[in-house]
Structure 1
Amino acid sequence: MGSGSSIGNSISLRRNSVTSRRNSNSSRKNDQDSVFYLACKNGDIATVEEMLPNLTFGQVNQVEPNGNTALHAASSCNRPDIVRLLLSGGCSRITRNRAGVTAYQEAATDEIRTLFHRSTSDRFVDENITNSFKLLTSNDADTETKINIPDDWVKGHSSADSAHEAKFIIALANSRNPLHKSVKNQAEKRSTSSFRMLVSQAVASEHQEYPKVSGLLKNFANKMGIGNLITVYTLQTPIYTNLQKEADSLSTLIYFHLSELQDRAFQGESYRGARMTEDDINAYKWAIKREGYVLETRTFQSSSIEISIAQEFIQQQQQQNVKDQHDSRFSVLLTLVFPQKCPTAINLTAKALPLLSEFEDEKEVLILPFTLFSVKEIKNDSQDGQYHITLINVPTPKTSLSDAAECIKS
């Protein structure tokens, strides 16, 4: 009896200790840093491991009286084990401290900085390029021209003026007609419901990013901005993979709220990797010889302002595929040129604006479906065999909603 009572008391004391620490973290004096924050700052990993599972997402990411979060403290004080623990637990990466700096920017060493990087490369490298772009060809093009169009590039129209889907969704998003507004509201409700369902299928309640995803969805529902849903896209979750197959719900919502992102419209060059077959490359060669033909993005595409980021991810993919002797695809670097600000190329890490990407080192420019490009140049590096393809953004022509709708019907 004495031994059993002693064990029971020990367990009770341990539970009380955890409860006491959790309470002290939330009920501290206003001018004192929390117990959890101090443990992260001082490298007390035992206390962090004990407290972390019992804290809410808000408590883990709270800004302390000194202006920093626990992640800022661990990052700046060179506590790699604790940074790793916080990030694996779904800690927010985009919270800025009182000085406007993220924990990534506060990193004491390159080792700490590396812990914030994404572990996989699939977002910045296309494995199936014909799923990402559609060649727009003319309905009234002659039969010989249509026969010569490469596989998977058969549908569409011959110029930007014929990109009716893109013109329709932009016209609907910008329309102030009360009737159109009603249609837009209904479409937004359906898209929100569809996106929530997609998210729930991809991220179960036990997933480490579930609290973060739930908070971002709640923020959007509370009219706190479309940026919350874009951040959901950037998370390292199966949501990204699902969106490559079902982009409609999120793309509709972003287009309807595009005015919120006008300060992020990108101008300049961004880069993306690809793996292409010889037929894929021949398709681009085919398109470059035909003036006026444009490509339309079919999916969300992540690109980077830094060419080194795209090249790094290409190299990762090459290393993954080196064991496959039957993979004869070529390595391709896509340069995407935006001569003027493009509202459907969104800078997620723009200076002086809140971060929308969880991985700020990637310097991401998110390219929406229905963005138009023409093929400017194709080169092959004789030394490493890599192809370089340059695409120029083509602005989507403005049109009335009724005209765009009629064109889609026809």
Structure 2
Amino acid sequence: MAERQPPVSNFYIACRNNDIDTVKSLLETMITDEINKLEPNGSTALHAASYYGHHEIVELLLMHGASRSIKNKYNYIPYDEGKTDTIKVLLSRDDNKDRFVGDSNNSIEWIRIGDKIDQEAKAIRKMLKAYSNQNKNKKKKNLINMIDLGSYKDIDKIKRYFNQANELNDPTYIIRAYTEETEFYQRLNRELARVHQLNLTDENQRQLLDFLHLICCHSDLRKYDFQDEIYRGMNMDVNDLKQYEIGAKIMTKTLLSTSKDRRIAEKFATKTGISTGGTTIKKACICKYKIRKAHTALAIQELSVYPQEQEVLIVPYSAFQVVQIQEIRSDYGVITEIELRQCKSHVETHTAIAVGGGLFATAMGSVVGLFLDNEDDEN
């Protein structure tokens, strides 16, 4: 005789049945772990509300910290279970956000374009490797300290991620914090952009150096290495676009969010500005990156708060060369496609390890050194 399955919770039943008053009442005393509990039937309350199309319940759950990334016993996240467009929109990132699109006026997007960019990356590697080596034998009380970026909305949410990383000795919680749609990742990249000269003895840079060291060197992140084509949108005016001529070499400045799904980047990229005369101020572009070496990018889909975006992170100070530029027609109109291939010399010298580098690269002006593999390749 088959063993009887335990009953699901009253909270789950209320979410499944669209009992808004009961859900509101229960949420007042529930903690996040209880809200995200996998019930005996293998689903969370958010899965149930999404499946049955209860958009008000979905909104309530999200407001109280329900996770978009938990998979049920069928390997589906709540987004996959959503039966209506309204539910899918609620579980998606706002299209007006700029996570997968860069702007040519944004000083933190690129560091430099030039013929000898690979050599600059090598110099950066050597400078940073010293810091990596001196940290190997240090014993620290915490895995990572909270980065001081001032006060901003949802800072308590980010602090919880840092606390979990320390309590569980798990760097993936820092990645989860970065994927949250808060000011954390934006302020972090702006902070990196302000620091142009790395100083290993500067205590003002210690938090950034420690954070970068953890993100780039922790063995638990190695399994997320990714090699293939990925996409990121760009909005550029005509003059800026001229810099991206075939053969030009480009070195990334910060951590860049890209997607395996071209349509994600195209959707974000086509939010172009129009002047009062009807003339396009910025051209919608799609950058297609060809990653040719491990430890250059990390596929963090299963860590992301928005797993349906299929996010891949490119580390800073990774060198690419423009190999093709063409106008193409997409579902969102005519866009300019820029194809970039990872530079051969950059690949051969094992320059980068996946995620997190971009978080601090710009800030320090020399980051790739921390991304060296165990091989002592200084070519």
Larger Rg: 1
In structure 2, what is the equivalent of residue 64 of structure 1?
A: 39
Residue ranges of structure 1 left out of the alignment (5+ in a row): 1-29, 139-156, 350-354, 406-410
Say if 1:67 and 1:97, in contact at 8 Å, map to a contact too.
yes
**Aligned: 1:75 with 2:24:** no
**Aligned: 1:388 with 2:341:** no
Q: Which amino acid aligns with 2:59?
A: R
The residue correspondences of 1:23-34 to structure 2 (distance < 5 A) are 31-34=6-9
TM-score w.r.t. length of structure 1: 0.70
In structure 2, what is the equivalent of residue 300 of structure 1?
A: 255
Aligned CA distance change for structure 1 residues 167 and 364 (closer, same or farther; 3 Å): farther
- Deviation by residue 1:307-357 (Cα, 9 ceiling, x = unmatched): 111111122x22xx235658622221111111x3431311012xxxxx111
The residue correspondences of 1:268-307 to structure 2 (distance < 5 A) are 268-285=228-245, 288-289=246-247, 294-307=249-262
Say if 1:166 and 1:371, in contact at 8 Å, map to a contact too.
no
Could you tell me how far apart the structure 1 residues matched to 2:18 and 2:296 are?
Answer: 43
Aligned CA distance change for structure 1 residues 40 and 166 (closer, same or farther; 3 Å): farther
Q: Which amino acid aligns with 2:341?
A: I
In structure 1, what is the equivalent of residue 152 of structure 2?
A: 202
- Deviation by residue 1:340-397 (Cα, 9 ceiling, x = unmatched): 3431311012xxxxx1111112111111222221221222359966322111123451
Partner secondary structure for residue 79 of structure 2: coil
Partner secondary structure for residue 312 of structure 2: strand
One of 108, 122, 126 as aligned partner of 1:163: 122
Moved more, 327-336 or 96-105: 96-105
Could you tell me how far apart the structure 2 residues matched to 1:310 and 1:111 are?
Answer: 21
Aligned CA distance change for structure 1 residues 38 and 224 (closer, same or farther; 3 Å): farther
Aligned CA distance change for structure 1 residues 107 and 381 (closer, same or farther; 3 Å): closer
Aligned CA distance change for structure 1 residues 223 and 301 (closer, same or farther; 3 Å): same
Partner secondary structure for residue 159 of structure 1: helix
The residue correspondences of 1:11-410 to structure 2 (distance < 5 A) are 31-119=6-94, 120-128=96-104, 131-135=108-112, 137=114, 157-160=116-119, 162-166=121-125, 168-169=127-128, 173=132, 175=133, 179-182=134-137, 192-193=144-145, 195-198=146-149, 201-204=151-154, 210-211=156-157, 213-247=158-192, 248=208, 250-257=211-218, 259-285=219-245, 288-289=246-247, 294-315=249-270, 317-318=271-272, 321-322=273-274, 328-338=281-291, 340-349=292-301, 355-381=302-328, 386-394=335-343, 395=346, 397-398=349-350
Q: Which amino acid aligns with 1:256?
A: C
- Greater relative contact order (Cα 8 A, min sep 6): structure 1 or 2? 2
Aligned CA distance change for structure 1 residues 328 and 77 (closer, same or farther; 3 Å): closer
Could you tell me how far apart the structure 1 residues matched to 2:215 and 2:168 are?
Answer: 13
Aligned CA distance change for structure 1 residues 57 and 223 (closer, same or farther; 3 Å): closer
Say if 2:12 and 2:45, in contact at 8 Å, map to a contact too.
yes
Identity of aligned residues (%): 29
Q: CA deviation at 1:180?
A: 4.7
Partner secondary structure for residue 242 of structure 2: helix
Partner secondary structure for residue 216 of structure 2: helix
Could you tell me how far apart the structure 1 residues matched to 2:107 and 2:67 are?
Answer: 35
Could you tell me how far apart the structure 2 residues matched to 1:238 and 1:279 are?
Answer: 30
Q: CA deviation at 1:235?
A: 0.7
Q: How many residues align?
A: 325
Say if 1:202 and 1:242, in contact at 8 Å, map to a contact too.
no
- Deviation by residue 1:21-65 (Cα, 9 ceiling, x = unmatched): xxxxxxxxx933222111001110111122223211122112222
Q: Which amino acid aligns with 1:163?
A: K
Q: Which amino acid aligns with 1:93?
A: R
Q: Which amino acid aligns with 1:336?
A: Y
Partner secondary structure for residue 38 of structure 2: coil
Say if 2:36 and 2:44, in contact at 8 Å, map to a contact too.
yes
Partner secondary structure for residue 241 of structure 1: helix
Q: CA deviation at 1:101?
A: 3.0
